[in-house]
Chain A
């Protein structure tokens, strides 16, 4: 392959990167970079220039509105990997700490608590046996017996502990003195396992988990491979992907490339002894070699080229340190390169075994803490590249100590930014034997081995997460090569095109400097299909959302040429084991189509996927049918919904004094009526929408600001806005003078005070009905002020907005609701004993509302305050 006759001009400097910066969302736009003279005619009248970036590329358009599942979900539900809220401290006090730039607070105590609960035998086994005679856990008082002196009653302590758990997140949380006393007394001797050691290990593990949540590099390279059909032949290839609940099964699945790729037959399946992290494949001499990496094992399979031939496992190696890379040689059959986190690089040949090329726990160019190492092949079958976060070096396997050169360095040589690190290197041998791709968290570089250190192409990719996966679709001579970049956590997919000959073979074209062609293109992510799916039940929707938003775990792409029709198939694997596919079709060169058309088809909100296409006889597209089948299989596979973690409920038992619990003498007529109505509705199996009392003489409603009977101001405003005369509504509203409103408020407060004595059921509900409207009014006038006399309300309508924490101000007098909740009143209302706790829990859950989920790392989850609707 010829070296380009002239390269794009660039400055060259040595040393550490000088440019300050960080991720910028637009850094890759609007720049040609450099220009170079190059055109069909040499020295015509005028020189013709070509840009480094911004030349026209091929037009590829998505054939479907979303990615479509290729395989049915495997049986058995997927176990999601830990989320931030699983290991972060979630107490309100600690959130304040966290905002003080102290980084994440790991919930160390909870994890240790989990250990004690899950493995009590290991934690307290022998001491527990020794002490169990001395601990009494019964409810009754200790009898005065002989053992009196050596036995303590633990019930109160256990209750204290229970309450402590229930009060998690409570702002007025403080340790009970009894607990403090107990832990002080026995923390030195109670545990079987040395607590300091255990804590050290646990803390280390938590830090590891947290850092892998921030950036998980064990997935680098991706665990999906496509084995293309042999030239000519049937349009059938093979997908190699992991699956199963622990992702420890390896599947070789035949896939027929039709309009939508379709699995054919059952896959060849291998059970492995670890989670599959990476699947790499290369074709040598008509056979595919597939390398599979898990943490401590690497294996290699051979797949003969002819269709239907079974894959054969060839060899497995075990490593002491987790392996971080496995690549397959595209030059020699049965050769692979392996890196481990201890900084060792091996050349692994199935015939001759392992050859250690390098062992260096330090990074190459400057110090970086990451143990991640990578290695790949180069144009010379005996020369391997090896990489860490600081750059790439090439070494000759025949004399690895002596013969090596630097290929890429994070530094001024490549115009890097400060803090930039290598994320994924990849040999681009299928496009050009001496080209190399290096991605960092900010940019993507194309390098030529023959001109080391100076990238021949550089572009800021602007992806939100670092690209961990990449695949190449080489273009024929004169056409552009396509590179796909994929991120894990955000599921981003980006398609780039680059060219290394400007003017095509037909014009006697030769190698020329690399240029980026066309604009980068965002492809569908798996989670993007959610908006096109039919409406689901809320919990089902949540499950589906969780499943589809699982981080990506690999990608594979292939070009398919069917006569004049060229299309591109892109497979994406998620951590849940789902493989989704999308097809892009090539649009022949034409003047840019009216943008309105392609913008309409991809406009957000529209879902052409499930609309019946006019030309389809079945009424629904193939993609929709595919989805339907997939959804059905998914709901079958995950029949049992995972246990919901309910917000902790407050026990009411100790909150009330004995006097509080003494209910009214008997149920009032209104309560009777209510009960009757409740029973009747239950018998009918209907539901109660509004608790409008059907009594002929309702207790006087506290007067609201709006004319009674009218909608609350929010609804009114929305209605007005909807109708288009919002301005008029505003006019009317402002004319409603402030003084008048204040008077009305004062009036109302007085009435409320007077009405507090009434403990009627309806009062609690009516006041809760007015609650919303009152709040929105207050927010109109200024900062919300809480009326001191207003009793806290256990609202019937979801969580009350954060303005009034119901626990903060204890009621001055027994509130009507507490009367409702007290066990005596429940008893005297005829609610059986076993139901009472349920009802209390239910109501207390409503009162507290769901806990605020902690923020996921790196993203600003904006918390929208959605007003709860009044009716269910």
Chain B
């Protein structure tokens, strides 16, 4: 009966698919390809109601095989992709996009551009939300490639300018690329998402043409629009832009303050701390101490000598001036139950001493001040340092011994 036939067909289809899957997972591309030629039959009678239909399956499997098969060529790949595009109308844009990605990764930028232009002009019935997104991406990537062409023309023009002559045709072409790129890039960065590459390119374009207001607005929107994810890079780009524009310290600090609130472990926190330490305002120096303490809470910063030296310098300054010891006390309060085991264990003293002497110096200084001269870390490192007759370790020991009462005030 036809029902039985359907069932059998389905069964053998599934079996074939599982063989293909097995071969793919074991990197047996040739075997997978042989099975796939049988699986193509499933296109003929498609009774399935799965969300990934046989045509998409064939596209996915075929692509994977052609990526890895030792005898496949780019020409064959392109040919396969063209066939796949006509096979499933619903997935046309997706397949186009993936085809473009593959061309881009293989350095075939021009072919990729052609494909993008072709895909952009494709229309079929009403677009679904997914297709809408895919179309936006296609336009954005075309904008990106336009940007690269623009940047190429710009470099040529700059070289020519150095040689002292101008080329009107090249300049015209460059402006043309600018317009094409700007339109598409501007579109995509309005939609919530992560568009680091597109934003960077768009801002570069705007900056070149002197439209700083627009650039600033774009970056502010990208960083502060609540519909966008909390992307640290958005704040980094804004900070870098402000720095390039020579904006005031205040606006730089406020940009970094927000980054600190989102990602206390960001690598820019060292810059932030140095900036704040230099400040004359007490409040900012206080913030600086907070920032560096918070950064050193994270496992990724454990062995960052630069960060430890920032902390050591600031703590030393405070101890010498004997003002604002309460700052240290407050920071230390929430950390005193776990920093000793996390940073200042005897095991770490040994290892830091073996691996990085200057790191162990900075850490020992901080440990000596925060935990007193009897702290294991300080004792071990200062002992080793004195044994090795290193002057600065002896100085450190003296400094800590002299200021030992500070420890009592901090911990008390």
Interface residues of A (CB under 8 A from B): 1-14, 18, 20-22, 24-27, 29-37, 43, 45-51, 54, 285-286, 330-333, 379-382, 398, 413, 429, 432-434, 450-454, 462, 494, 519-522, 592, 594-596, 598-599, 602, 862
> Could you tell me which residues of chain B, from 14 to 30, have a CB within 8 Å of some CB in chain A?
17-18, 20-22, 24-30
Closest to B197 in A: A6
Contact, CB under 8 Å: A3 / B232 = yes
A22 to B263, CA, bound (A): 35
- Between A and B, 23 residue pairs with Cβ closer than 8 Å are A1-B265, A1-B300, A2-B267, A3-B263, A7-B196, A12-B192, A18-B129, A22-B50, A25-B21, A26-B52, A26-B60, A27-B60, A30-B61, A30-B67, A49-B101, A51-B101, A286-B347, A332-B341, A380-B297, A433-B298, A450-B262, A595-B28, A598-B28
Q: Which residues of A contact B104 (CB under 8 A)?
A: 35, 49
A5 to B266, CA, bound (A): 12
Shortest distance in angstroms between A844's beta carbon and chain B's nearest beta carbon?
Answer: 34
Given contacts A9-B193, A398-B334, contact A519 B105 (CB under 8 A): no
Residue B348, interface by CB 8 Å: yes
Q: Which residues of A contact B56 (CB under 8 A)?
A: 26
Residue B51, interface by CB 8 Å: yes
A760 to B197, CA, bound (A): 92
B299's partner among A7, A379, A862 (CB-CB below 8 A) is A379
Closest to B106 in A: A49
Residue B231, interface by CB 8 Å: yes
Contact, CB under 8 Å: A50 / B51 = no
A24's partner among B50, B67, B148, B348 (CB-CB below 8 A) is B50
B192's partner among A11, A47, A398, A522 (CB-CB below 8 A) is A11
Residue B407, interface by CB 8 Å: no
Shortest distance in angstroms between B115's beta carbon and chain A's nearest beta carbon?
Answer: 13
Residue B164, interface by CB 8 Å: no
Q: Which residues of B contact A21 (CB under 8 A)?
A: 51-52
Q: Which residues of A contact B60 (CB under 8 A)?
A: 26-27, 29-31
Q: Which residues of B contact A434 (CB under 8 A)?
A: 265, 298, 300
Shortest distance in angstroms between A507's beta carbon and chain B's nearest beta carbon?
Answer: 18
B31's partner among A8, A398, A494, A599 (CB-CB below 8 A) is A599
Residue B64, interface by CB 8 Å: yes
Q: Which residues of B contact A332 (CB under 8 A)?
A: 338, 341-342
A594's partner among B64, B70, B231 (CB-CB below 8 A) is B70
A569 to B198, CA, bound (A): 43
Residue B92, interface by CB 8 Å: no
Contact indicator per residue, chain B 202-215, by CB within 8 Å of chain A (1) or not (0): 00000000000000
Contact, CB under 8 Å: B51 / A3 = no
Contact, CB under 8 Å: B21 / A26 = yes
A14 to B225, CA, bound (A): 14
Contact, CB under 8 Å: B26 / A520 = no
Given contacts A285-B345, A331-B342, contact A51 B105 (CB under 8 A): yes
Given contacts A51-B105, A450-B266, A451-B229, contact A381 B297 (CB under 8 A): yes
Sample of 7 further A-B pairs with CB below 8 A, known A12-B229, A454-B231, A521-B25: A2-B267, A7-B231, A26-B56, A54-B67, A332-B342, A380-B298, A434-B298
A2 to B232, CA, bound (A): 11
Q: Which residues of B contact A25 (CB under 8 A)?
A: 17-18, 21, 57
**Central interface residue in A47, A51, A596, A598, by most chain B CB within 10 Å:** A47
Q: Which residues of B contact A462 (CB under 8 A)?
A: 21
Contact, CB under 8 Å: A380 / B24 = no
Contact, CB under 8 Å: A30 / B28 = no
Contact, CB under 8 Å: A13 / B102 = no
User: Which secondary structure dominates chain A's binding surface?
Assistant: loop
A380 to B69, CA, bound (A): 44
Shortest distance in angstroms between B1's beta carbon and chain A's nearest beta carbon?
Answer: 11
Q: Which residues of B contact A8 (CB under 8 A)?
A: 194
Shortest distance in angstroms between B352's beta carbon and chain A's nearest beta carbon?
Answer: 12
Q: How many residue pairs between the two chains, A and B, have CB atoms under 8 Å in the bound complex?
A: 196
A32 to B105, CA, bound (A): 9
Q: Which residues of B contact A46 (CB under 8 A)?
A: 107, 109, 148
Shortest distance in angstroms between B398's beta carbon and chain A's nearest beta carbon?
Answer: 29
Residue B59, interface by CB 8 Å: yes
* Closest 9 A/B residue pairs (Cβ): A30-B63, A522-B25, A30-B60, A433-B300, A285-B347, A32-B101, A6-B196, A29-B64, A1-B300
Shortest distance in angstroms between B197's beta carbon and chain A's nearest beta carbon?
Answer: 5
Contact, CB under 8 Å: A331 / B299 = yes
Contact, CB under 8 Å: A48 / B107 = yes
Q: Which residues of A contact B231 (CB under 8 A)?
A: 7, 451, 454
Q: Which residues of A contact B186 (CB under 8 A)?
A: none
A11's partner among B11, B31, B102, B193 (CB-CB below 8 A) is B193
Residue B187, interface by CB 8 Å: no
Residue B151, interface by CB 8 Å: yes
Q: Which residues of A contact B22 (CB under 8 A)?
A: 522
A451's partner among B105, B109, B148, B230 (CB-CB below 8 A) is B230
**Central interface residue in A30, A379, A381, by most chain B CB within 10 Å:** A30
Q: Which residues of A contact B193 (CB under 8 A)?
A: 9-12
Contact, CB under 8 Å: A47 / B25 = no
B105's partner among A18, A50, A432, A494 (CB-CB below 8 A) is A50
Q: Which residues of B contact A599 (CB under 8 A)?
A: 28, 30-31
A9's partner among B61, B148, B198, B334 (CB-CB below 8 A) is B198
Shortest distance in angstroms between B130's beta carbon and chain A's nearest beta carbon?
Answer: 8
Contact, CB under 8 Å: B24 / A519 = yes
> Could you tell me which residues of chain B, from 38 to 80, have a CB within 8 Å of some CB in chain A?
50-52, 56-57, 59-64, 67-70
> Could you tell me which residues of chain B, from 177 to 223, have a CB within 8 Å of some CB in chain A?
188, 191-198, 200
Contact, CB under 8 Å: B338 / A381 = yes
Q: Which residues of B contact A433 (CB under 8 A)?
A: 298-300
Contact, CB under 8 Å: A26 / B17 = yes
B68's partner among A37, A47, A519 (CB-CB below 8 A) is A519
Shortest distance in angstroms between B291's beta carbon and chain A's nearest beta carbon?
Answer: 15
A602's partner among B26, B52, B69, B192 (CB-CB below 8 A) is B26
A333 to B344, CA, bound (A): 13
Contact indicator per residue, chain B 130-149, by CB within 8 Å of chain A (1) or not (0): 00010001001000000010
Q: Which residues of B contact A5 (CB under 8 A)?
A: 196, 233
A331 to B299, CA, bound (A): 7
